[in-house]
Amino acid sequence: MPDITVAQMTLDNNVVDADLVPYWKAGTGQQRRATRAALLGAAANAIVMNGNTAQLAQSGTIAMVDQPQTFIRRQIININETNLIPLEVVAPANSNTFMFRVMRGAITALSVNQPSGLGYLFVVGNNDFGTNAGSCVQIGQNFNSATPAAGHLLIFNRGNSGYRIWPDLSGNLRIGTTLPTGANDFSGTVVGAQTSAASVKDMMTGGQVTPQQALNHVLNAANGAIKRFRYKRSIDGVEASRPWNGEEFNGLVVDLAPRYGMDNGKSLNVVTAIGDIMLAIKALHERIDALEKK
């Protein structure tokens, strides 16, 4: 057979296991030949490296280290050892780009990133879902038959104290520092309830409201701040979309009685309102008691 160069060889991509491949045998310093199967594995879609076989699909692609990859088929990570992290994504420490993102077509369905001005941001994306509800985050329960427990959300305040939020068995949303196991389902405080323990208050001296002053405050509010109303409807303009299904209320409007507003007038100050009502009742009781003694 005459000597030829690789460039002179006829290109043939239809390689079979019995085809011969030349190689140099380092142990004896001689040229040798071997079948393709002996060198690269028993199947035409396999590569043998250090005794391990990488099996490829008919049109498969090997994922290369330190190279961008695009997978168009389902990938399964099956870890048979314990105490290992099945999937770990490491992003640059100073990066404000996506650390993790799941796309639904061209729309971001799920992502984790660190945008400017924020800490880590976990996003469940928006989309046009037609008449369905919007995106949601689901936190499951402990369904142990003997000791079931609610799922919960753990949030840390700026002092690094963790607060857990969960729905109790009665459907009330609670917040507390205790782990909400089944036994602690009714621990913590109902969200929206005012903390009334003396241990969380700085008691003020002087300037205590008298029963008569409280009565005057209540009368002033009753004379001009008690209104009949419904809460405004949402942007869709549907009457049934009003809060509480459009139910009518007859109650206090804090804009007209600032004493009973809190959080810059955005909410009703129930604590002060109840305190004034109790003192007003005391003032009336004192008057009635004085009249009965005449």
Q: In the predicted model, is pLDDT for residue 176 greater than 70? A: yes
Q: What is the DSSP letter of 160?
A: S
Q: Where are the beta strands (DSSP E) in the chain?
A: 20-25, 30-35, 46-49, 52-55, 98-104, 107-113, 121-124, 153-156, 162-167, 173-176, 189-190, 226-229, 249-252, 261-262, 267-268
> pLDDT, tens digit, for every residue of 133-153?
999 999 999 999 999 999 999
Structural tokens at position 115: 């945008």
Distance (Å, whole) CA 202 – CA 262: 18
Q: In the predicted model, is pLDDT for residue 74 greater than 90? A: no
Distance (Å, whole) CA 145 – CA 42: 52
**What rounded mean pLDDT belongs to the chain?**
85
Q: In the predicted model, is pLDDT for residue 255 greater than 80? A: yes
Distance (Å, whole) CA 173 – CA 80: 40
Distance (Å, whole) CA 216 – CA 259: 12
Q: Can you say how many angstroms the Cα of residue 154 is from the centroid of all Cα atoms in its chain?
A: 10
Alpha carbon distances (Å) from 122 to 69, 119, 159, 196, 272: 24, 10, 22, 35, 39
Q: What are phi and psi for residue 179, nearest 5 degrees?
A: -60, 120
Alpha helices in the chain (DSSP H): 36-40, 211-224, 270-293
Mean pLDDT of 40-66: 59
Domains of the chain, by residue range, sit at 1-75, 138-193, 211-293
Structural tokens at position 229: 């109303």
Q: What is the DSSP letter of 119?
A: S
Q: Would the CA dihedral through 284, 287, 289, 291 be positive or negative?
A: negative
Residue 223, number of CB atoms within 10 A of its CB = 10
**Pairing state between β 46-49 and 189-190:** unpaired
Distance (Å, whole) CA 266 – CA 253: 10
pTM of the model: 0.61
Q: What is the DSSP letter of 276?
A: H
Q: What is the pLDDT of residue 157?
A: 93
Do 137 and 124 meet the contact criterion of CB atoms below 8 Å apart?
A: yes
**Pairing state between β 121-124 and 153-156:** unpaired
> pLDDT, tens digit, for every residue of 178-227?
999 999 999 998 888 767 778 878 888 888 999 999 999 999 999 999 99
Torsion angle in degrees (nearest 10) through CA of 148, 149, 151, 152: -170
Q: In the predicted model, is pLDDT for residue 235 greater than 70? A: no
Distance (Å, whole) CA 176 – CA 184: 10
Provide the b/e sequence for 148-179 (b: ≥16 CB within 10 Å): ebbebeeeeeeeeeeebbbbbeeeeebbbeee
Q: In the predicted model, is pLDDT for residue 175 greater than 80? A: yes
